[in-house]
Structure 1
Amino acid sequence: MKALSLIAFTLAALLFFGCSSKKYFEPEQTFSASNASTSNGENITDISRDGATLKSGQYIGKTGISSINLGEGYRFINESDKYVLAANPEGILKVIDKKTKDAVRAVSLKIPVVSATIKNGVIAYVLNNNSFGIYQMADNRKVVESRSETTFAIDTRAASPIFIDNLVVMPMLDGKLIIVDVADSENAKVVYISNEKAFNNIIYLTRKSNTMIAATPKKLLTLGNGGQREYQENISEVAYDNGIIYLFTKEGEVIALDNDLEKVGESKYKFAHYSAGTAFNGRVYALDQGGSLIVMDSALSKQKIYDLGEVDEPAFIAGTKLYKDGDIIELSKLGYE
């Protein structure tokens, strides 16, 4: 019993000292954001790269809070102009018509869905066993489904597939992009970004002009007319505005990179841990877990910090709005001046 008590005491002491030694971002001065904040009373229960699920069963999409209810046990995955994609833990992918608000398909994929995108009735999806597939609504069939390497742990901010003309770019959970031609799925191409053993999934994927931008938690990659470029960093979030890529790092840095991935700006906030970040209209926004919202200019040389209160549940940014703990903060009203 004495031995057990000693072990318990040692574990408790380690836990106490480990927690007490954690450092937090503590700005010297903060400002109120009350003029930009309203309350909607809705709590976020789950976030995806493209939206958030609310406790009520509704969701936050690209244009804000939708009146569509996803159904009990379903989480928001993605949306198009016509459809909403939602999934449950049993691997059912539900397709909801935005006009009627009714489900028009319930596709049994048997494995939980990590991410998916729909375009012109074609759904590209990635499952949590690192399988990817393409499903056509018109004839209710899978065009292709294939599995990549086994993964053991992933970052929850999994990127969604993107369509580029007749191609689908699949952001896999093992640090790869698989490029599939919908009309010729046998000849897929693979782009390797990172080979970390865990937490190596693609967390950001977009196309800007003729350049594709992708990131894992350890590496940023661009692929375009200038070839393939890479930049290594411990990445929490990625944003893009006016030709500049912004990296929010796990060390509290915000880094600005040009199209050649050359550093054109940098700012560091000691002990900051970012919950969300975005950039638009020449401003950069970084939300620390402690509730400090840092607003910077595009060069990251000017800043103003607002106190929003500690982040208690997942925070999500859609357009110019930040959804946090039942509040909606209109970011465009907050400047660095």
Structure 2
Amino acid sequence: MKNFALVSIILALFLSGCNTKRQYFEPEITSKDSIKKHSLDSKISDVSIAGVTLKNSNIITKNGQNSKIKLKEGFKFLGEDDGLFISANLDGVLEVSDDSGNIVFSKQYGSAIVAASIKSGLIAAVSALNHIYLIDLNSAQTLMEYKSSEVFAIDSRVAAPVFLNSIIIYPSLDGRIYVVQKSGQILKDIVISSETFFNNVTYLDVIDDNMIAATAKKVIVINPQKISYFDGEIKNFIRHGNEIFIFKKDGGVVKTDLELNELAKNYFKFAIFSGASVVNNKLYIVEKTGYIIQTDLNLANTKIIELSDEIDDKSFISGDKFYYDNEFVKFE
């Protein structure tokens, strides 16, 4: 009888789980306004923190579509600086090409490079095995290789290293930041978050004396006076001037200052955020099921515009343009 009761409870729990319905963002009022869609030359193949690789092997950078660059088959665009473009494939090959598409650097590493930056003849890279590299572009020599902790699962958004005057700040896949001299010497490592899974640094930036970094669970701002933290389930993150907008997985949006003091907030029930940008003093938020949420910079005066279709996971936003599938929309 006890076994029968146990089986009955398990069956009831299973059936109740099967009947659980996914909740969707369903705004009560939508604007009659529309946003014009424009066609891309090809569908999106891959997305990185720096831009898009199209299926025709052209790229979209933060400056827009670049049809002069055609990557090799299987390569993904990772970053650019001063007319040089970084790409990598799953076999661990890292390449740099000039603005005419000529390969000026090519070298294979032990695992795929998932994030990279280039500046003044140096390449800073992070691999899928959580190795960080400093590479001399001209000599092809590896000036520094350091293996951080082993990782088991990462968020697809991987921040790129940041070059400063005499140092490079590396994001890791295990929730750390490494401060490295351009000679290759590691000066310091900082723990942002210690989660076991999906703990890679998804955002890294420096503004004035503030270093800002984020994972899927935490935001940290470090300056000479203090260290500030924000904890939560974080979906997206953008900075606009001295303000930070944090988009949470539960549909909440929080605006803070650079010390992470809350300035404003709003909540969009069941919203799944795909990206956001500030254009002409308006915040545009893309919601995955097919909406553009427009607010002022205090997260008030909301207007919701419906798109004609759901947003694919492979999407990219930069400035006034949001790219998805084989289209883009422009925010006014």
Instruction: Tell me the TM-score normalised to structure 1 length.
Output: 0.90
Within 2, Cα distance between the matches of 1:76 and 1:175?
23
Match of 1:253 in 2: 252
Q: Give the number of equivalent residue pairs.
A: 320
Partner of 1:154: 154
Q: Shift in Å at residue 45 of structure 1?
A: 1.6
Quote the residue 1:320 is aligned against.
320
Matching residue's letter, 1:60: I
Aligned partner of 1:17 in structure 2 is 19
Q: Structure 1 residue 242: deviation in Å?
A: 2.7
CA distance in 2, matches of 1:32, 1:87: 43
Structure 1 unaligned segments of length 5 or more: list them: 1-8
Match of 1:5 in 2: none
Q: Partner residue of 1:198? A: 197
Task: Quickly say closer, same or farther: Cα 1:53–1:233, change in 2 above 3 A.
Answer: same
Please give the alpha-carbon distance, in whole angstroms, between the structure 2 residues aligned to 1:278 and 1:152. 31
**Residues 189-243 of structure 1: CA distance to partner in whole angstroms, max 9, x if unpaired?**
0011000011100000111122111000000001113321111111111111131
**Unaligned segments of structure 2, at least 5 residues:** 1-10
- 2:259 counterpart SS class: coil
Query: What SS class does the counterpart of residue 31 from structure 1 fall into?
Result: coil
Conservation of the 8 A alpha-carbon contact between 2:168 and 2:181: yes
Alignment of structure 1 residues 100-179 onto 2, 5 Å = 100-179=100-179
- What do the CA deviations read for 1:294-316 (whole angstroms, capped 9, x no partner)? 11110001111111221134111
Query: Mean Cα displacement is larger for which, 306-315 or 217-226?
Result: 306-315
- Equivalent-residue separation in structure 2 for 1:319 and 1:189 (angstroms): 33
Pairing of 1:40-51 with structure 2 (within 5 A)? 40-51=40-51
How far 1:37 moved relative to its partner? 2.3
Q: Secondary structure at the match of 1:178?
A: strand
Matched residue, 1:239: 238
Q: Check 1:53–1:149 CA distance in 2 against 1; reply closer, same or farther (3 A cut).
A: same
Correspondence 1:93 to 2:80: no
Match of 2:213 in 1: 214
User: Given residue 222 of structure 1, which amino acid in structure 2 is its aligned partner?
Assistant: V
Question: Is 1:38 equivalent to 2:38 in the alignment?
Answer: yes
Return the alpha-carbon distance in structure 1 between the equivalents of residues 17 and 42 of structure 2: 34
> What percent of counterpart residues are identical?
32
AA aligned to 1:88 is N
**Aligned counterparts of 1:32 and 1:205: Cα–Cα separation in 2:** 37
Is the CA contact (8 Å cut-off) linking 1:274 and 1:288 kept in structure 2?
A: yes
CA distance in 1, matches of 2:107, 2:280: 40
Distance in 2 (CA, whole Å) between partners of 1:48 and 1:84 is 13
TM-aligned CA deviation for residue 33 of structure 1: 5.8
The 2-side partners of 1:103 and 1:31 are apart by: 48
CA–CA separation in structure 2 for the residues paired with 1:32 and 1:110: 53
Q: Which moved more, 1:36-45 or 1:162-171?
A: 36-45
1:78 aligns with 2:79: yes
CA shift for structure 1 position 260: 2.0
Contact 2:34 2:306 survives alignment (8 Å): no
CA contact (8 A) 1:241 1:280 kept: no
Does the 8 Å CA contact 1:44/1:313 hold for their aligned counterparts?
no
Residues 253-292 of structure 1: matches in 2 within 5 Å?
Answer: 253-292=252-291
Whether contact under 8 Å (1:24, 1:271) holds in the other structure is yes
Distance of 1:81 and 1:17 partners within structure 2: 54
Is contact 2:205-2:213 (8 Å) kept? yes
- The amino acid that maps onto 1:214 is A
Distance 1:141 1:188 in 2: 21
Q: Residues 33 and 102 (structure 1 numbering): CA distance in 2 closer, same or farther, change over 3 Å?
A: farther
Shift of 1:43: 1.2
- Distance in 2, matches of 1:212 and 1:179, equals 11
> Does the aligned pair in 1 maintain the 2:95–2:105 contact within 8 Å?
yes
Runs of 4+ in structure 1 off by over 6 angstroms are 9-12
Partner of residue 4, structure 1: none
Aligned pairs for 1:306-317 (under 5 A) are 306-308=305-307, 309-317=309-317
